[in-house]
Amino acid sequence: MIKSRLCDLIGIKYPIIQAGMGPFSNNNLCVASANAGVLGLLSTSGVFNKDDQPWIYKAFVETAEANFDDDMATVMEKVLKRTYRLVKDKGGIFGINVMVSTEVLKHSHVMIDTAIRVREENPDMKKHFKVIFTSAGDPMGWKDKIKGAGFTWIHVVPSVKGAIRCKKAGVDVIVASGHEGGFHTSWEPVHSMILLPAVVETVSDKDTLVVGAGGFCDGKTLAAALVMGADGAQMGTRFLATQESDFHQIWKEGVVESDDRATLVARGFVGPARWLKTPRSSEHAKNTLQKSPGVFLGAPDDYSTIDMSLIQYEIESIKAVFEGNKEKAMMAAGEAAQRIKDMPKVNDLVQQMVKEAEGILRNASKLVA
């Protein structure tokens, strides 16, 4: 049986994290993942979209057992209680993914403050709701609030520099996210084969764990992460294309049907984003080259400098997914999409991954004379 420090730290069976993917909810996927023995992460970005993208918000509150008119804190409380109710009998472990970028910082505090309050009011929840995962922002300043409340704190970074800052901030588990990953990618394209061992060598010690993300999708890549010194692997696109995934069917089918060289990078809501290659996303990439060239040059820009028609194009494309309009839809996915050819149940997927990784690791010793 594969076991790592990540398993020991948070009590999961297997050293795998199901990424907290947006923009749609993944409330059902998180439950299925937690019950399969990996860390399930709830996405919270959909709660930010009540006014500007109500179709995303509506889907989130429906699977959260909440109401459209609930305020942000109430929606958060309801989804946490629902998740706990559905995982507690199987010993599932879950957490929340909260973006902490400057643009949404006010919302971030509501999300995290609510999570702390709800867990304190429901002490048995502490056995299952163990993780706060922060992303898309600076980790500095969150330690006292998150770790002070007894949570394991995970933060994701795309660079060694970012990992060093995480260590300084007091993060427990640093996720090194290579440029292969889906949706939000870094401004500078450093891929997992380079990034992960570099981060491990720089920050991993008895107090700091490292997890790989970007390109990990099966037993082979899980074994590779562990061999490179990581304590586990985070997988997004692979879990997106499962039967329990909340993502729209055309999005899931787009991943399964993708082939060689299946993705491209173009502008996203918070910087570069990786999309499945379609006529729609190819047009978006051309527009990005003209209106946000920093995406391809490693030079960050923001909403004050780019043509906002790029962002509106993305919003329209995500809405098209919700409506089932394949012609206008754009769907994010990692490079791993071209290696995903089925849509299994989450538990079957996890068992297959772990069995494959175990066999590879057992046979690895045969390569040494």
Q: Is the pLDDT score of 232 beyond 80?
A: yes
Amino acid 135 reads: S
Q: Residue 266: which H helix or E strand, with range? A: strand 263-268
Q: Where are the beta strands (DSSP E) in 80-208?
A: 94-99, 129-135, 152-157, 173-177, 183-184
- For 41-74, b where at least 16 C-beta lie within 10 A, e where not — what string? bbbbbbbbbbeebebbbebbbebbebeeebebbe
CA separation for the pair 39, 35 (Å, rounded) = 9
CA distances to 31, 106, 309, 343, 353 from 146, rounded to whole Å, are 22, 16, 37, 35, 31
Residue 49 pLDDT: 72
Dihedral of alpha carbons 129, 159, 223, 261, sign: positive
Residue 94 pLDDT: 98
For 170-194, what is each residue's pLDDT tens digit? Answer: 999 999 999 999 988 999 999 999 9
Residue 54 pLDDT: 82
Q: Does the N-terminal peptide bond of residue 123 adopt cis geometry, omega within 30 degrees of 0?
A: no
For 286-340, what is each residue's pLDDT tens digit? Answer: 999 999 999 999 899 888 888 999 999 999 998 898 888 999 999 999 999 999 9
- Written as six digits, the tokens of 108 are 């971030």
Amino acid 157 reads: V
For 147-176, what is each residue's pLDDT tens digit? Answer: 999 999 999 999 999 999 999 999 999 999
Residue 105 pLDDT: 78
SS3 174: strand
Residue 303 pLDDT: 86
**Average pLDDT of the residues of the chain:** 93
CA separation for the pair 94, 86 (Å, rounded) = 11
Residue 40 pLDDT: 98
- Written as six digits, the tokens of 319 are 């809405």
Residue 64 pLDDT: 86
Task: Give the pTM.
Answer: 0.94
Residue 310 pLDDT: 94
Mean pLDDT of 3-27: 93
- Written as six digits, the tokens of 5 are 């420090």
**Confidence category of residue 252, pLDDT binned at 50, 70, 90:** very high
Q: Is the pLDDT score of 220 beyond 90?
A: yes
Identify the CATH assignment for 5-247+344-363 out of 3.20.20.70, 3.40.50.300, 3.40.50.10470, 1.20.1250.20. Answer: 3.20.20.70
For 30-76, what is each residue's pLDDT tens digit? Answer: 999 999 999 999 998 878 777 777 878 888 888 888 888 888 899 99
Spell out the domain ranges in the chain: 5-247+344-363, 263-332
Contact by Cβ (8 Å): 350, 16? yes
**Confidence category of residue 137, pLDDT binned at 50, 70, 90:** confident
Residue 296 pLDDT: 93
Residue 67 pLDDT: 85
Of the ranges 47-61, 113-127, 204-218, which one carries the lowest mean pLDDT score? 47-61
- Crossing angle of the two packed helices 279-291 and 309-323, in degrees rounded to 10: 160
DSSP state, residue 229: T
